[in-house]
Structure 1
Amino acid sequence: MSAKRINTRKHTKRKHAKVPGEMPSREDILAFVADNPGRAGKREIARHFGIIGGARIHLKKMLKDLSEEGLLEKRNKRMIRPGDLPPVFVANLIARDRDGELLGTPADWDDEAGDPPKILILTGKTKATQPGVGDRALIRLSEADAGPEAEHAARVIKVLEKRQGAILGILRKRDGERPPYLEPIDRKQRELDVDAREMKDAEDGDLVSVQVTRSGRYGHPLASVVERFGSMNSEKAVSEIALQSHGIPHVFPNAVEDQAESAQPVDSLGKREDWRQIPLITIDPPDAKDHDDAVYAEPDADPDNDGGVVVYVAIADVAHYVTPGSPMDREAHLRGNSVYFPDRVIPMLPERISNQLCSLREKEDKPAMAVRMVFDKTGRKKTHTFHRVLMRSAAKLSYLQAQKAIDGTPDDKTGTLLEGVLKPLWAAYGILKKGRDAREPLELDLPERKIKLKPDGTVDQVYVPERLDAHKLIEEFMIQANVAAAETLEKKKTSLLYRVHDASTPEKLESLKDFLSTINMKLPSSGGLRPAVFNGILAKVKDTPQAHLVNEVVLRSQAQAEYTPANIGHFGLNLRRYAHFTSPIRRYADLIVHRGLISALGLGNDGLPEGIEAKLEMIGAEISAAERRAMLAERDTIDRLIALWMSDQVGATFRGRIAGVVKSGLFVRLEDSGADGFVPASTIGLDYYRYDEGSHALVGDKTGETYQLGDQVEVRLVEAAPFAGALTFELDSPGRIAGKQIRKGAPKTRRGPPRGGSQPARSSGKPKASRTRNSRKRP
């Protein structure tokens, strides 16, 4: 778009001379074009001013003169004033405003006309129209308010081009004069030649990111190394793959770092309540640096609550440092949550905030949002109140350290806390557990796997940690604090994001019912199912060979939890209302709840911003997606690390259990390490196997030999693909003879990637990983 004069203001409609047969003035024509940018052609101008017959010749000459003088431009048979925007055009999406909304500029703009106008990009809710920074999109101007940072607003019609980012892969060198090449991590990408002059000291086998810069010999793309991450044998390189492949933001913008560095600690009480004499303690993993929560409990002195307890939960006051609309707030919204890898954390907030100013560190005064809850002797909550306080953690303990003290082997630190702090905490947990047992939340027994690394970042061992009462204590205290937050905001009619968990869909329940029928168990066919129904099924198979199998299938029948302003309750916890309040250092949803409490209870001027209600649905969807993205990245990293760890054990035999069954084969989880791998159906014996969806099994046509979800098997490792995080096994043990014939008409097993099924296979053969939960995460 060329221009000699720029007008980016919105035009107000003007009256124009319309006397038939009378020629309009130059000013009338310019005003009409200004009010109809991109829509005013010669025909439209003549019609508007009533110009007919020979007068059209004079109009044509007038328009030509205006064009030669640079007052009008002709584009696509329409007249437009230089500097005006047409109704539909292509824009480059360049940034986000302070509210996180996209900003764009015209793709075709003459620099001599000055700075291009900023356009607020209004996106639709469908995935097809969700652009991002760096994209090119076809947009249509809108009459909507453009806000303070833009001159125009426009709606996306179509995303024309997605940003071409750096490509991640393994650098491979060739013999002779042939250039090195990139073996992309994403198997959908082609190999790329790499410019030998742009290597950034990368060596053969290093993980690198490259950018296509130009065409090489014969027009083939040639790439330059953008960044070198080091050898693929290190955990840092493996987690880098997850960051890049899932698009997880991990470098803080300068504005965010500057804001974090300029933040100052709270060194005076001010209007806060003084809780520094309450001996609150933190209980976390031994390597934790960001301490969100501290706890304390004592018997209730109220004679009307005999046997009751008072529980105190103090949570880091992130809202004090991260204010709405600030650079840190926008970045936290974008990230959604912290991401945890075996050797490092990708935090939601800069380290100065997450690990220093906000973290409830031992013996340091820290600002906190706190809740005081009173329970009766049955574990029923009687009352609760929220407070904005200044606290001082009496001690930093690990889960195991606290548990050992309760079990009779205290150390020097826990010995001084045992009578006055730890025993009252465990006594309070005993009472709260009564309330939990009466509530009957879903009690799945699925151990999680952990990875221990060597100093060089490679895998030392994979293990399943013991689940301690110390874990359960903190979990239940956090659940009760989260419930209290939701109840308070509801009572105050303040907007919030609930943490909701829907009941299973009818389709999933029908699948579960079919499966249970294969092991002579029933699921009620009528009435509302509550978690207690599932718990009854799990109790019947506890300590039997089928326990793991049934737990897996029940888990797969459940919906996924998410954030939304519409409350449908939390099915798994069996709660009518639930919100996340207890981890604002690492979850954006909790920060919103904190701000809601500040606004609702008049605890400061840093509460919810104006107009947040209209945005909560979108925010909930975005941070729910960020949570799923983090889970996938964490799981993929564990899969890749284990595949790398086992790559030198090809040919070895292992005991495992069938963790998934699909038409194309079996997923097997090894007993010792929890590693997952895939057994292609084409490698199973000489029979022809059919997939029985109801019983989660492959059944041989002739022999009836059956491999069912949960069966123990022996497998031999035939391939380890660390980049894909995939292990391929062959069965070394026979199946069992099915006690029940496969249903007539069940689909035959194919020898290629499946097209459907209740548990889709990954075409790469990548194993279905177990659902891993970081022990730092609260419900």
Structure 2
Amino acid sequence: MDQLPTKDQIRQWITDHPTQTAKRDIAKAFGIKGGALRIELKRLLKEMEGEGALTRTRRAFREAGTLPPVTILRVTGPDAAGDLFATPLEWEGEGDPPRILMRAAPSDALGAGDRVLARLTAVEGEDHAYDGRLIRKIGSNPLRILGVFRAGSEGGRIVPVDKGQDKEWTVGRDDTDGARDGELVEAEAASKRLGLPRARIVARLGDPTAPRAISLIAIHQHGIPDHFPDAVVAEADAAQPAPMGARTDLRDLPLVTIDPADARDHDDAVFAEADPDPANAGGHVVWVAIADVAHYVRPGSALDREARRRGNSTYFPDRVVPMLPDTLSGDLCSLHEGVDRPCLAVRMVLDADGNKLSHRFVRGMMRSAASLTYGQVQAAQDGTPDDRTAPMMARVIAPLYAASAAAMTARDRRQPLNLDLPERRIELTEEGKVSSVAFRERLDAHKLIEEFMILANVAAAEELIRLRRPLLFRVHEEPSPEKLDALREVAEASGFTLAKGQVLKTAHLNKLLSQAENTDFDELMNLTTLRSMTQAYYHPENFGHFGLALKNYAHFTSPIRRYSDLIVHRALISGHGWGDDGLSGFDTENLGDTAKMISDTERRSMLAERDTNDRYLAAWLSDRIGAEFTGRISGVQRFGLFVKLDETGADGLIPIRSLGHEFFHHDADAHALIGADSGRVLGVGQRVLVRLVEAAPITGGLMLELLEVEGDTLPRSPRRKGRFSPRKPAKMDRKRRVISRKR
């Protein structure tokens, strides 16, 4: 369209599309491009606003005398017939504000004076102008409680499942929602009565001990969205396979996916070959192809809004809460073997020493030559290929390992943080019960894929910096001085050194870790170094990645499960002019808010996954009460000691009250408890023998009893008559506070 729409056309568009009324939405609807026409559109909208035909709210317009589809209301109370009405909190039209009938469910519990956020639908032929449906109350966001309901004569009580919360809640007879004794429920805090905390049950979640209930507890406890709105599912179901169009044809490249055997999706594929360029003797060409999620998840769509809200997929031993519906994540966006799939791919050239010489991005169409597992690929490289991998050795697998060896050489020179912390794997039966707990095997095939993904992420960041396009960097800042001092103290107490007075580099930390390697303090130093690190996050500004020892880093390789990667894909699409599904105005204007949101959702998922693993481990150990386990003290607090068990990696608590009748001082600087009478030091890193006293699957808590420390039995004082707690001395000998933990 090479001319402006009429005022009537604009008014009709706003009436028909109440959620697409920003200036850019209007411009897009009428095909207005170019600076001159956009300036004229801005002038026309301002003129209509001056005439009173439109009302402007922030960046959007609406027809004068109307309300936006989502607005804040004040409930005015029921009429004589019992119908509940509301009025808009802000009204800019002429005359009285429109009358709004609240279509409230009994559970909404609305009353006169409540301020609510509501979704409005205009109605005709009624004595009110709109129907309103509650989204949420404003200024009334009650605390949510997840726990086990215990029935009583006057209602009951709720025992929280959070092991960090020991307060119980009372539930009135009319607030139980029919919950049965022992049932897992979700409740919200209500008003107090006689000083007792009260709650109202809002959802019944079933038997807390039933198989697969453990991850459900974490989902509700952490507020992870696990149900897709109808509009989101409808958009996903309507999606069709992407056409070839102007894409680069990569279907002849034998790209393969390499994933865990239980992988739920395949969003990256790789291929490598020797560089045919004689100027790069011994060099390699590496292709990394990533699912083109941006083609299906368009800016501003219902899919996009929901993906941004979720931020990422969350993985549990028995289920995944995906960022995208399965139609996309498990099918159209998944790089299945033998089918055409759209992708964004990067071709990287490495020299013989693994240095990246160049890269080139394309928007292409690929066809996976094979869906392989890490174990398959490693076995093939080790000399025992199966029927699937044997024909691929010379053309695919051997070149991948050759390129990987070069890349790992460059990695060793770069010296990223080299932590060695085994990852535990919880295996479940088909019924959802724990069958085994073991540590994941770390293969060269894992390292191969990991290093190629890092290279691709670096290339994406460098490309967008070159194109001067906004993006979300993956940021990891160096440890704070306080955390470094704490790490240094643990290192010195363990017999190692971490130099002072120099700019910290990952190489310094790697030197510390190498000192501890193959000693009794190996795991301790790895764990303590990890705890000294800051949390990585997303940000529109580039502050570098300390842990990877990289100046430029962005997430590009997992757009099926991370919204950050989708933003990077859109930035590449915009930067290269590959289509109209690149970064939107909203994406660019709200980049900081998006970074904060998805950093928060990532932390939420990490906590939920950790809590779920703790609960599964407690369930696994619950039939071994009284058994003895070896482990190492992993944390010290005023209230007790945390011990990481060797067999499972589970963490348990030794309460300070169980350490006999000697009083123990907490020395926070030394990360130790020190006996007031004996001078015995119980500190981080010491080997211990413990007895399992309690395992609570619902909370994930393990309670332990200390039996031995570094092979010595803990002496216990006889109980003093009339005393129920350890004696606290008036003053502690200063010398005892500096006793080495090596004693």
Shorter-chain TM band? 0.7 to 0.9
Pairwise CA distance, 1:609: 0.5
Structure 1: which amino acid aligns with 2:399?
Answer: P
Q: Report the counterpart of residue 247 of structure 1 in structure 2.
A: 223
Checking the alignment, whether the CA contact within 8 Å between 1:707 and 1:735 is kept in structure 2 is no
What SS does the corresponding residue of 1:571 show, helix, strand or coil? coil
Pairwise CA distance, 1:160: 6.6
Pairwise CA distance, 1:302: 0.2
Give distance in 1, aligned partners of 2:603 and 2:393.
Answer: 39
Q: Report the counterpart of residue 210 of structure 2 in structure 1.
A: 234
Give the stretch that moved more between structures: 381-390 or 284-293: 284-293
Structure 2: which amino acid aligns with 1:545?
Answer: D
Pairwise CA distance, 1:512: 1.9
One of 471, 474, 480 as aligned partner of 2:455 = 480
Q: What do residues 248-272 of structure 1 show as CA deviations (whole Å, max 9, x unaligned)?
A: 1111111101111111112x31110
1:712 corresponds to 2:690: no
Pairwise CA distance, 1:407: 1.1
One of 155, 163, 168 as aligned partner of 2:146 = 168
One of 587, 592, 595 as aligned partner of 1:612 = 587
1:192 corresponds to 2:166: no
1:53-68 paired onto structure 2 within 5 Å? none
What SS does the corresponding residue of 1:417 show, helix, strand or coil? helix
TM-score, reference length from structure 2 = 0.76
Checking the alignment, whether the CA contact within 8 Å between 1:233 and 1:458 is kept in structure 2 is no
Pairwise CA distance, 1:452: 0.5
Checking the alignment, whether the CA contact within 8 Å between 1:172 and 1:182 is kept in structure 2 is yes
Pairwise CA distance, 1:472: 0.5
One of 399, 413, 418 as aligned partner of 2:388 = 413
Give distance in 2, aligned partners of 1:695 and 1:388.
Answer: 55
One of 488, 504, 510 as aligned partner of 1:513 = 488
Checking the alignment, whether the CA contact within 8 Å between 2:631 and 2:688 is kept in structure 1 is yes
Q: What do residues 669-698 of structure 1 show as CA deviations (whole Å, max 9, x unaligned)?
A: 111111110001221244332333344222
Q: Report the counterpart of residue 186 of structure 2 in structure 1.
A: 209
Checking the alignment, whether the CA contact within 8 Å between 1:364 and 1:392 is kept in structure 2 is yes
Question: Structure 1 residues 684, 414: CA separation in 2 closer, same or farther (over 3 Å shift)?
Answer: same
Q: Report the counterpart of residue 394 of structure 1 in structure 2.
A: 369
Question: Structure 1 residues 196, 534: CA separation in 2 closer, same or farther (over 3 Å shift)?
Answer: closer
One of 589, 608, 629 as aligned partner of 1:633 = 608
Pairwise CA distance, 1:629: 0.4
1:645 corresponds to 2:615: no
Checking the alignment, whether the CA contact within 8 Å between 1:134 and 1:163 is kept in structure 2 is no
What SS does the corresponding residue of 1:382 show, helix, strand or coil? strand
Question: Structure 1 residues 607, 688: CA separation in 2 closer, same or farther (over 3 Å shift)?
Answer: same
- Let me know the Cα RMSD of the aligned residues: 3.2
Checking the alignment, whether the CA contact within 8 Å between 1:180 and 1:196 is kept in structure 2 is no
Pairwise CA distance, 1:653: 1.2
Q: What do residues 677-720 of structure 1 show as CA deviations (whole Å, max 9, x unaligned)?
A: 00012212443323333442223233332222222211111112
Give distance in 1, aligned partners of 2:536 and 2:612.
Answer: 22
Question: Structure 1 residues 235, 591: CA separation in 2 closer, same or farther (over 3 Å shift)?
Answer: farther
Checking the alignment, whether the CA contact within 8 Å between 2:248 and 2:362 is kept in structure 1 is yes
Give distance in 2, aligned partners of 1:560 and 1:208.
Answer: 33
Structure 2: which amino acid aligns with 1:161?
Answer: G
Checking the alignment, whether the CA contact within 8 Å between 2:170 and 2:198 is kept in structure 1 is no
TM-score, reference length from structure 1 = 0.72
Give distance in 2, aligned partners of 1:648 and 1:495.
Answer: 54
1:595 corresponds to 2:574: no
Question: Structure 1 residues 134, 538: CA separation in 2 closer, same or farther (over 3 Å shift)?
Answer: farther
Pairwise CA distance, 1:640: 1.1
Give distance in 2, aligned partners of 1:707 and 1:213.
Answer: 43
Q: Report the counterpart of residue 232 of structure 2 in structure 1.
A: 256
Pairwise CA distance, 1:119: 9.3
Question: Structure 1 residues 220, 348: CA separation in 2 closer, same or farther (over 3 Å shift)?
Answer: closer
Q: What do residues 484-520 of structure 1 show as CA deviations (whole Å, max 9, x unaligned)?
A: 0000000111001100100111111122222223234
Structure 1: which amino acid aligns with 2:285?
Answer: V
Percent identical residues: 47
Question: Structure 1 residues 679, 324: CA separation in 2 closer, same or farther (over 3 Å shift)?
Answer: same
Question: Structure 1 residues 194, 428: CA separation in 2 closer, same or farther (over 3 Å shift)?
Answer: farther
What SS does the corresponding residue of 1:733 show, helix, strand or coil? strand
Give distance in 2, aligned partners of 1:508 and 1:561.
Answer: 15
1:105 corresponds to 2:84: no
Give distance in 1, aligned partners of 2:618 and 2:369.
Answer: 43
Give distance in 1, aligned partners of 2:184 and 2:417.
Answer: 43
Q: Report the counterpart of residue 320 of structure 1 in structure 2.
A: 295
Structure 2: which amino acid aligns with 1:710?
Answer: G
1:276-291 paired onto structure 2 within 5 Å? 276-291=251-266
Q: What do residues 338-387 of structure 1 show as CA deviations (whole Å, max 9, x unaligned)?
A: 00000000000111011111010111110000000000001100000000
Structure 2: which amino acid aligns with 1:168?
Answer: L
Pairwise CA distance, 1:599: 0.5
1:691-770 paired onto structure 2 within 5 Å? 691-734=666-709
What SS does the corresponding residue of 1:578 show, helix, strand or coil? coil
Checking the alignment, whether the CA contact within 8 Å between 1:171 and 1:208 is kept in structure 2 is yes
Give distance in 2, aligned partners of 1:629 and 1:300.
Answer: 43
Q: What do residues 181-221 of structure 1 show as CA deviations (whole Å, max 9, x unaligned)?
A: 5434354450325669954xx764332335799999xx997
Give distance in 1, aligned partners of 2:698 and 2:625.
Answer: 16
Give distance in 1, aligned partners of 2:147 and 2:211.
Answer: 15
One of 512, 525, 528 as aligned partner of 2:503 = 528
Give the stretch that moved more between structures: 607-616 or 278-287: 607-616
Structure 1: which amino acid aligns with 2:240?
Answer: Q
Give the stretch that moved more between structures: 313-322 or 680-689: 680-689
Q: What do residues 453-510 of structure 1 show as CA deviations (whole Å, max 9, x unaligned)?
A: 1111111111111111111111000000000000000011100110010011111112
Pairwise CA distance, 1:108: 3.8
1:458 corresponds to 2:436: no
Give the stretch that moved more between structures: 178-187 or 597-606: 178-187
1:667 corresponds to 2:621: no
Pairwise CA distance, 1:404: 1.0
Give distance in 2, aligned partners of 1:716 and 1:349.
Answer: 44
Question: Structure 1 residues 288, 751: CA separation in 2 closer, same or farther (over 3 Å shift)?
Answer: farther
Give distance in 2, aligned partners of 1:715 and 1:119.
Answer: 67
Question: Structure 1 residues 119, 569: CA separation in 2 closer, same or farther (over 3 Å shift)?
Answer: farther
Question: Structure 1 residues 541, 226: CA separation in 2 closer, same or farther (over 3 Å shift)?
Answer: closer
Pairwise CA distance, 1:110: 7.9
Give distance in 2, aligned partners of 1:238 and 1:498.
Answer: 34
Unmatched 5+ stretches in structure 1: 1-83, 85-96, 121-132, 140-158, 738-749, 753-779
Give the stretch that moved more between structures: 109-118 or 550-559: 109-118
1:259-270 paired onto structure 2 within 5 Å? 259-266=235-242, 268-270=243-245
User: How many residues align structurally?
Assistant: 604
Question: Structure 1 residues 235, 475: CA separation in 2 closer, same or farther (over 3 Å shift)?
Answer: farther
Checking the alignment, whether the CA contact within 8 Å between 2:496 and 2:516 is kept in structure 1 is no
Q: Which has the larger radius of gyration?
A: 1
Q: Report the counterpart of residue 328 of structure 2 in structure 1.
A: 353
Question: Structure 1 residues 553, 299: CA separation in 2 closer, same or farther (over 3 Å shift)?
Answer: same
Question: Structure 1 residues 721, 322: CA separation in 2 closer, same or farther (over 3 Å shift)?
Answer: same
Give distance in 1, aligned partners of 2:182 and 2:86.
Answer: 48
Give distance in 1, aligned partners of 2:473 and 2:444.
Answer: 27
Checking the alignment, whether the CA contact within 8 Å between 2:290 and 2:345 is kept in structure 1 is yes
